[in-house]
Structure 1
C-alpha cells in the first residue's frame, strides 16, 4: 500500500471510530434519582414552560424537534407508549391482528392485548421503541403493563406478565433508553431490577405507596400522580417516601400541583 493510501485508510478508520452517538456516552442509561421533579402531559398543546428536569410526553404525538428542544433546555424526555393495550387511533393500529385484541380497558378506543403472543407483539413493540429512539427520547413509559389482574378477555397469568414486562424492558435497553414500570404493584419485587424507575397512579388513594419502596431503596425515582385527593392528603407521606408526586387531572393536560 502506498503512503497516501495508508494515510487515507487511517483517516477513514479514525472517522469511523468517532461516529458513535454523543448523547449517550459509554452506553450509560439515564436513571433518575428519587425525588426528581417531573411533568406528565399527554393531552392538549404541549407547554414546555414548566420548570422541571423531566417531561413525560406521548411518543407518537411529538416530533424529534420537540425532544431536541427539551434537551436544549437541559431536560430529559420520556416516551409514553401503550404496550399492553391496542389503541384504535394509532398509525400502526391495523398491523395488530384481531386475535390479539381483547376487551376494552375502560378508555375509549383502547382494548387489552394478549401479551402471551410475543411472536406477534414483539416486532410491533420493537418498531414503536425504534420510533422513540429515532426521536431521541431518553426513556420509555410503557403503559397497561398489568393486564393479568384485569378482565382482558384472555387467561393471562402472573408469569405471562413478568415475561412480557421483561421483554419490553429489554427492547428499551437494547435501544439505549431507560424504562419505567407502570403500576403493576404486585410484581415490583420481581421487576425492580429490570426497570430504571417507576410510574404510579393513585398509590396514596389506595394506600399502596409503601409498596413503591423497593424502587426508592434501589435509588430509582418513583414518578407518582394522584387525581382525586388534595395535596395536603398525600404530599406529606409522599415526601417521607421520597416519591416524585403531584396532583393532576385525568385528562393529563398542562395543569399540575406538585408536592
Structure 2
C-alpha cells in the first residue's frame, strides 16, 4: 500500500497519527494487545507483499510473508478452510465430509472446509492454527485476521454458528496469550458475540456494497477495517464512514502493482 513519499512532512504526520490513534487494551488474560489505529491509511496485501504506498500505516499480509517495517501489521490466516493443495497437511478426519464421504468445498475458492463440530476436533485444529499464530508473533505481527469465520454457512448445514464461535474462542485466547489482537473477519450476523469470544476489531469485506458497515460499527465502534472490491461499494462506504473508518478498495484477486487488474483506491 505504498507510494513513496509526499515528503518528510507527510511521513512524519502519518507516523504521529499512527502513534496517537493506536489503542492499548487489556484482555481478560491480562495480556496487553495493541489495536490497529482507526481511520488509518491501509493496504490489503494478502495476494503478495510489496512496498506499501506512501502514508500507509496498517498492512495485512499472509502469514507466510514478512511484516512491513515500521507499520502496524496484521497477519492473515486461513483458519476455517484449507488452502488448495494443502489438504494432505491435515489429518483426514479434520476435513469436513458430507453423508457420502465427499469433502465439503468452498466452491468460490476451491477450499475444503475444516470439521470443528466436536471439542476434540476443535482442539486439534486450533493446535495447528495456533502454531501459525505463534509464527506471526515471532515475525513481529501485531494482530491476526482469521479468515472464513462464516464457513458454517457453506457447510451443507453440517457446521453451526455455535461450532464456529467455540473454535474461534480458542484462537482468540491463544492470540491474546501472545499479545496479539484478533479480528472478526466478516460474518456480521455473529458480531454480537464479539466480547464473549474475545474479538478486538473487525475486518469487513464489502460492507459498503451490502449496507452492513453500520452493523460492524454497532459492535466494534470505529475499530473496523473496510475492504471494498467495487467502485460503488467504496463510494458508499466512503460517503457514510470515510471520516471515521479505515477504508480501501482492492481488486478481488488482491494482486500486486504491475499485475493485470491491480486496483487500490481510497476515500
TM-score of the pair, normalised by structure 1: 0.77
Tell me, what secondary structure is at the counterpart of 1:113? Answer: coil
1:64-115: CA deviation from partner (whole Å, max 9, x where unpaired): xxx2xx33xx31111111000011345xx53312222232213444111112
1:246 aligns with 2:248: yes
Aligned-pair distance for 1:27? 5.0
Are 1:84 and 2:80 an aligned pair? yes
Structure 2 unpaired stretches of 5+: 1-29, 97-103, 257-262
> How many residue pairs were aligned?
220
User: Counterparts of 2:170 and 2:154 in 1: how far apart (Å)?
Assistant: 22
* Residues 33, 49 of structure 1: alpha-carbon distance in 2 compared, 3 angstrom cutoff: closer
Written as runs of structure 1 = structure 2, the 5 A alignment for 1:168-207 is 168-192=171-195, 194-207=198-211
Q: State the 1:180 CA deviation.
A: 0.6
Aligned residues of 1:215 and 1:222 also touching (Cα < 8 A): no
Please report how far the alpha carbon of residue 153 of structure 1 lies from its aligned counterpart in structure 2 after TM superposition: 4.7
Counterpart check, 1:208 vs 2:212:
yes
CA distance in 1, matches of 2:155, 2:50: 32
Q: Which residue of 2 aligns with 1:95?
A: 89
CA contact (8 A) 2:186 2:205 kept: yes
Structure 2 length-normalised TM: 0.75
The 1:188–1:243 alpha-carbon spacing in structure 2 relative to 1, beyond 3 Å, is same
Question: Could you tell which deviates more after superposition, 228-237 or 137-146?
Answer: 228-237
Which whole-Å CA distance do the structure 2 matches of 1:203 and 1:244 have between them? 12
Deviations 1:182-223 (A, max 9, x none): 001111111146112110111121121111113443xx5211
Give the alignment's Cα RMSD to 1 decimal: 2.1
- SS in structure 2 at match of 1:87: coil
Corresponding residue for residue 10 of structure 1: none
